[in-house]
Homo-oligomer: A and B are copies of this chain.
Amino acid sequence: MNALDFHKSLIVVDALQASAWDRELLQELVDGGVTAVNVTLVYWEDARATLDRIGEWHRLFERHGDLVMPARSAEDIEAAKKAGKVAIVFGLQNCSPIEDDLALVQVFNELGVKIMQLTYNNQSLIGAGCYEKVDAGISRFGREVIKEMNRVGMLIDLSHSAEFTSLQAIEISERPVAITHANPLSFHHGIRNKSDTLLKVLAQSGGMLGFSTYPFHIGGSDTPLEKFCAMIADTVEMLGIEHVGIGSDMCRKHSREYLDWMRSGRWSKELDSGEAKSAGGGWPDYPAWFRTPADFPNITQGLLAKGFSEDEVARIMGRNWLEFFRASFAPA
């Protein structure tokens, strides 16, 4: 079996993409042999606006049902693989949709939202984001939300949370949690990347890390595939093969206006592009080996070239996420 056929045989899971979806982008997922994607619904939106985002996906499912289907469980993802379609898992990059209402955790879970970040860069009602200078950890409301997410089977995602908030969330949560899209700080020193301490605690508690291809998480667009795969090898050595997967953070076709919303919401008069300041606030180019999700076979090939066994590659490319989702998305 050549590398491409091997790739096509795999369950491929991308634990984070955030694009302005249309048929062309959905086709890229199919072309890249992607089995399931956690798609970002919102960054700063409240409950009502989140319903709009969900409604938009309902229309996409209706129009492009030959390419994609909604997924709320590992079984749905397996069914998508069999049907030759891409399974779409709804995720939130902020807790803004639940506002200050604990009851909205179950409401959004019933609407198919299976993954929620506790914070997005800033202080939320739950905890501190990674751009805050001081981090008080999980709030009183946050403890209730974590308990409720554990109960209904909504996965906690700490990708944009600050360090102490993340450590405390792991401690409070009775179920393993995820960092769906980030890399080790020890690989590249970026604001969104994570300390070895945090990653070890995450893995020891049964959690998962998804490796990001976003240029500011890998040290720039010129970073070669070999270096990305070497980072994966180093992290596997540190955390164990069971605790890693891919979370590409691929973001396509958004307008500049939407990127500004993503970065600054409506909380500041001045645009704050964070790490993207150096790219003039625009979206940086992805590396040549991963320009779209259709390039997913390149990563499989890179991992094989790095010396991972086929079983290890299958785990990294999606089987780990599949089994983790199986455990995480079921009610307690």
Contacts and interface: CB of A to CB of B under 8 A. Distances in A.
A61 interface: no
B131 A267 contact: no
Nearest to A47: B46
A3 interface: no
A266 B145 CA distance: 11
A82 interface: no
A314 B165 CA distance: 49
A100 B136 contact: no
A266 B101 contact: yes
What is the total number of copies of this protein in its complex? Answer: 2
B100 A123 contact: no
A137 interface: yes
A109 B159 CA distance: 36
A141 interface: yes
A102 interface: yes
A123 B101 contact: no
A2 interface: no
14 contacts: A102-B269, A103-B266, A122-B141, A123-B125, A123-B136, A125-B125, A128-B136, A131-B140, A132-B140, A134-B136, A140-B268, A141-B267, A141-B268, A144-B269
